[in-house]
Amino acid sequence: MKEFNGSGSALIADVDCTTEGKPLCDNNGVKGFPTIKFGDPSALEDYKGGRDYDALKKFADENLKPMCSPANLDLCDDDKKKEIEALMEFSEEDLNAKIAEGDAKIEEAESFFKNEVETLQASYQKLMSDKDEAIDAVKNSGLGLMKSVLAAKQKAEDKDEL
């Protein structure tokens, strides 16, 4: 945080999501701690890089700078400017509806993923249980005794050969 203190292009902040910062964290999809977010304050993204100083510093140097946005149109290429201008034509209600639609698709993807992981976990547990039962059945059928007998026979053969 000290490295970027006073920076005009980056704000580094620490938020306690268990007290006064909880609404901010809830609004930005913070589900676990610690969470690092970056980007436009109105549309923060999850940081997925390394957590040591060098990795964070490298990421910040390469990515935390003014970006194309409605507030910084001069940083946008022509295509992005046209996209922003088209979105500016929408009413607040239309934008809210489109945002809600996008958020719903993300939530649907998260829910589908969670359900599929639960299905995989149940399948994994069943496979593990079946494997353990099969191994126990083989061991209980006398496998250990067979191995002991074989070892004794081989030992006896080795003595006979001398």
> Is residue 84 in some structural domain?
no
> Is residue 154 in some structural domain?
yes
> Is residue 83 in some structural domain?
no
Q: In terms of domains, do 26 and 62 share one?
A: yes
Tell me how far apart the alpha carbons of residues 144 and 161 are, in angstroms, rounded to a whole number. 26
Q: How much is the pLDDT for 10? A: 66
Burial 89-126 (b: 16+ CB within 10 A, else e): eeeeeeeeeeeeeeeeeeeeeeeeeeeeeeeeeeeeee
Residue 162 has pLDDT above 70, yes or no: no
> Is residue 82 in some structural domain?
no
> Is residue 80 in some structural domain?
no
Query: Secondary structure of the chain: what % helix, strand, coil (to 5)?
Result: 65, 0, 30
Q: In terms of domains, do 62 and 98 share one?
A: no
Indicate the helix (H) or strand (E) that contains 45.
strand 45-46
Q: Which structural domain, as residue segments, surrounds residue 151?
A: 94-162
pLDDT tens digits, one per residue of 102-143: 999 999 999 999 999 999 999 999 999 999 999 999 999 999
pLDDT tens digits, one per residue of 4-56: 666 666 677 788 888 888 888 888 888 887 888 887 777 788 888 898 889 98
Residue 147 has pLDDT above 70, yes or no: yes
> Per the structure, how many domains does the chain have?
2
> Is residue 131 in some structural domain?
yes
Q: In terms of domains, do 100 and 58 share one?
A: no
* Whole-prediction pTM: 0.55
Q: How much is the pLDDT for 13? A: 78
Q: In terms of domains, do 61 and 101 share one?
A: no
> Is residue 162 in some structural domain?
yes
Nearest to 88 by CA among 70, 68, 66, 67: 70
Q: In terms of domains, do 99 and 161 share one?
A: yes
Q: In terms of domains, do 99 and 150 share one?
A: yes
